[in-house]
């Protein structure tokens, strides 16, 4: 498994390097990345998620799925509480506190987590990964907004926008088809599978392109960022593993929950920070740094998970 993990992560790094070189070589421009991101999020990811759930129900599969959703909520609640005390210990305030709080809460389950889980553990694991990711996608416009806007954030929560989120909606569709054992026609299914298979390489190319847009001269400064990165990439996933392994019999569920918790900071952190004028440069830096560090920490977590 470790060799497989190294090989798959190496392939992902190669795709990221291609995206980085393409952006620096002006093959990709600032205008191209949003379009590629939109295609990936709105077409390729939904296809991948729906087809991942096109399989027969195994004994206990539905119960395990609901268990994973419940555990995801518990993990996010724990990260929320721990994040409060971590930032209090770091004595950060104002907009810096908001950005670092979001960084502790939201790992990159979309662009990096699901493709990596799919590459390392196969399509069976994507069912769990999709459910876990959907919980986070629902938390971004709810908990995320409340954090970034303070006490007035509740007024900006839109239930309709949460349900119409492409990843949440595709997960609901895929899970409904899975629960009722409705099979997609073969020709259409093959087409969706082909589209979904392009998700992993294109996602990594997009991340590489985003990294190339950063100012590399100043991006590595700021010790508090590295403290948050340590908790995001290593401490939180280790706590998840130690807490769940003794009590959860489904080893795949524990593995997926642990590895998704070990992902770098989600790009949505930088997007939200920029949208609301809350230290967008700091947010971009922590996304960049945790993504680079994850090249080394993810293999370590694979070794620990075993």
Tell me the C-alpha distance between 59 and 71, whole Å. Answer: 20
Question: pLDDT band for position 162 (50/70/90)?
Answer: low
pTM reported for the whole predicted model: 0.78
Question: pLDDT band for position 36 (50/70/90)?
Answer: confident
Tell me the C-alpha distance between 281 and 269, whole Å. Answer: 11
Which of 63-72, 158-167, 276-285 shows the lowest mean pLDDT across its residues? 158-167
Q: Is the pLDDT of residue 238 over 60?
A: yes
Structure tokens, 50: 């729906």
What was the pLDDT predicted at 41?
76
Domains in the chain: boundaries: 2-300
- Return phi, psi of residue 217, to 5°: -70, -35
Q: CA–CA distance from 275 to each of 12, 269, 284 (Å)?
A: 29, 10, 13
Contacts (Cβ under 8 Å, ≥6 apart) of 172: 134, 163
Mean pLDDT computed over every residue of the chain: 84
- Look at the block and give the residue holding tokens 């642990």: 258
Question: pLDDT band for position 181 (50/70/90)?
Answer: confident
Burial of 275 (0-12, 13-18, 19+ CB in 10 A): exposed
- pLDDT digits 0-9 by tens, 84-95: 999 999 888 888
Which DSSP symbol is given to 26? T
- pLDDT above 70 coverage of the chain, percent: 88
Q: Which residues partner with 265 through β-bridges?
A: 107
Q: Is the pLDDT of residue 152 over 70?
A: no
What was the pLDDT predicted at 180?
86
What was the pLDDT predicted at 80?
93
Which of 51-60, 112-121, 139-148 shows the lowest mean pLDDT across its residues? 51-60
Long-range contacts of 87-90 (CB under 8 A, 24+ apart): 90/224, 90/227, 90/228
More confident residue, 159 or 176: 176
- Helices of type H across 40-165: 45-52, 61-90, 94-105, 114-121, 123-139, 145-149, 159-163
- pLDDT digits 0-9 by tens, 246-292: 999 889 999 999 999 999 898 778 777 877 788 877 887 888 888 88
User: Among the ranges 36-45, 49-58, 181-190, which has the highest mean pLDDT value?
Assistant: 181-190
Structure tokens, 164: 């119409």
What number is the average pLDDT over the span 50-68?
78
CATH 3.40.50.1370, applies to 2-300: no
What was the pLDDT predicted at 156?
58
Structure tokens, 66: 């609901």
What number is the average pLDDT over the span 108-121?
80
Q: Is the pLDDT of residue 136 over 90?
A: no
DSSP string, 206-254: HHHHHHHTS-TTTTT--HHHHHHHHIIIIIHHHHHHHHHTTT---HHHH
Question: At 158, is the secondary structure helix, strand, or coil?
Answer: coil
What was the pLDDT predicted at 65?
83
What number is the average pLDDT over the span 144-153?
72
- pLDDT above 90 coverage of the chain, percent: 30
Question: At 27, is the secondary structure helix, strand, or coil?
Answer: coil
Question: pLDDT band for position 31 (50/70/90)?
Answer: confident
């Amino acid at each position: 498994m470790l060799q497989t993990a190294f090989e798959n992560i190496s392939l992902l790094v190669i795709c990221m390097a291609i995206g980085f070189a393409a952006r620096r070589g002006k093959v990709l421009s600032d205008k191209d990345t949003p379009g590629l991101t939109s295609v990936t999020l709105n077409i390729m990811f939904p296809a991948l998620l729906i087809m991942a759930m096109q399989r027969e129900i195994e004994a206990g599969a539905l119960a395990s799925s609901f268990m994973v959703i419940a555990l995801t909520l518990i993990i996010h609640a724990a990260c929320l509480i721990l994040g409060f005390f971590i930032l209090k210990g770091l004595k950060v305030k104002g907009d810096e506190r908001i950005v670092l709080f979001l960084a502790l809460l939201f790992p990159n389950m979309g662009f990096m987590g699901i493709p990596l889980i799919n590459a390392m553990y196969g399509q069976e694991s994507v069912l769990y990964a999709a459910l876990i990711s959907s919980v986070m996608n629902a938390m971004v416009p709810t908990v995320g907004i409340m954090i970034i806007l303070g006490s007035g954030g509740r007024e900006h929560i839109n239930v309709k926008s949460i349900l119409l989120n492409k990843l949440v909606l595709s997960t609901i569709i895929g899970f409904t088809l899975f629960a009722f054992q409705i099979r997609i026609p073969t020709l259409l299914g093959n087409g969706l599978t082909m589209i979904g298979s392009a998700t992993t390489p294109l996602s990594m190319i997009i991340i590489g392109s985003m990294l190339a847009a950063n100012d590399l001269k100043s991006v590595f400064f700021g010790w508090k960022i590295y403290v948050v990165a340590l908790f995001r990439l290593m401490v939180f996933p280790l706590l998840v593993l130690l807490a769940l392994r003794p009590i959860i019999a489904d080893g795949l569920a524990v593995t997926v929950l642990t590895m998704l918790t070990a992902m770098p900071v989600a790009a949505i952190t930088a997007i939200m920070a920029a949208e609301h004028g809350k230290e967008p440069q700091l947010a971009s830096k922590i996304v960049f740094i945790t993504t680079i560090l994850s090249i080394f920490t993810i293999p370590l977590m694979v070794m620990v998970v075993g």
